[in-house]
Amino acid sequence: MRRAPVQLGTASLVAAALALAPPARAAVPSAEKVRKAVAATNLAGKRTQPLVIEVAVLSENGEVAATGQGKLDPAGGGRIDLTLPDGRTETHERTLSGYRVTRGGSPADHAPELLPPVQLLQAPSAEALAAALLGLGADAERVDLGVEGSSDCWVLGGRDPGPFEANGRPSLWIDIESRQAVRVDEAGGTHFRLGPLAQQSGVRFPAWIETQSAGGLRTRMEIRHVAPASAAPARSP
C-alpha cells in the first residue's frame, strides 16, 4: 500500500531547511529594509507614542500573582508598578542603562524581568530602531533567518547557529508576513516572546509578553488594557 506523503507546515519546512544548510544571503533583505518595515508597522499600530498599560502577572499554574499599571515611552523607558496578593508592591523599571526591580522599596535582584526593551516595539523610524538595537549591543546591520513558533522570521541582530530557542545574541525577531515583532532576545540569555496583537483605544499591542530567563523560568504578563498616555488614565483593576 502506498503511503500518502507527510505534509509539513511552512515553519517546519523552513526550520528543516535552516537546520540542513545556512540560508542564502541573497534571499535575506537588507537590515535597512527590515528596519523600515518594522518602523512602518509600529507607526500603523500607533505604538510610537507614550502608552499606559494595565497588566496581570500570572504564576506557572495560571493564577494571578500580581496586578498593576505602567507607562511605556518610545524613547526607551518603561515602568510597571505591581501589587502582590499580600499587599506588597513591586516596581519594574527599564531604562537605556539597564533593568531594575524593587520590592517594598528594596532591590529584588533575582526577580525575573517583565518588560522587554520597549523601544524596539515603539521605534517610529528605521534610524530610531537602529539606535535601539545598538543600545542593546545588537548588530543593527545583520539579518538572519529563524523560526519562532509558527512564524518564519527575520532576525535583526543575527542569531547563533543551532536551536532557535537557544540564541544568545541580542536580537529582534520579526514575522516575515505580518512584519510584527514576535520575540526579543537579550545578550544575557533572556528571551521575550510576544503574543498576538490586540487593539484597544486605537493602539495595537501584544496581548501578552512571556519572559524566559536564562535559567529557564517562564513568566507571563497579560496586557489587559493599553491606551495613549495623552488619553484618560488606565482603568483600575
Is residue 6 a part of any domain in this protein?
A: no
Give residue-wise pLDDT tens across range 83-101: 999 999 999 999 988 899 9
List the domain range (segments joined by +) for residue 57: 29-228
| The predicted structure's pLDDT at residue 231 | 78
What pTM value is reported for the model?
Answer: 0.86
Question: Smallest Cα–Cα separation from 64: which of 72, 51, 77, 55?
Answer: 55
| The predicted structure's pLDDT at residue 2 | 40
Cβ of 140: how many Cβ atoms within 10 Å?
Answer: 21
Q: Which of 5-14, 120-129, 143-152 has the lowest mean pLDDT?
A: 5-14
Cβ atoms of 91 and 82 closer than 8 Å: yes
**pLDDT > 90? residue 141:** yes
Rounded (to 5) percent helix, strand, coil in the chain: 20, 35, 45
What is the band of 11 on the pLDDT scale with cuts at 50, 70, 90?
Answer: low
| Tally of domains in the chain | 1
Is residue 11 a part of any domain in this protein?
A: no
More confident of the two residues 110 and 169? 169
Is residue 233 a part of any domain in this protein?
A: no
Pull the grid cell for residue 144.
Answer: 538572519
**pLDDT > 80? residue 8:** no
Is residue 168 a part of any domain in this protein?
A: yes
Average pLDDT over all residues of the chain: 88
Report the CATH number that the domain containing residue 195 is assigned in CATH. Answer: 2.50.20
> How many Å is the maximal CA-CA distance in the chain?
70
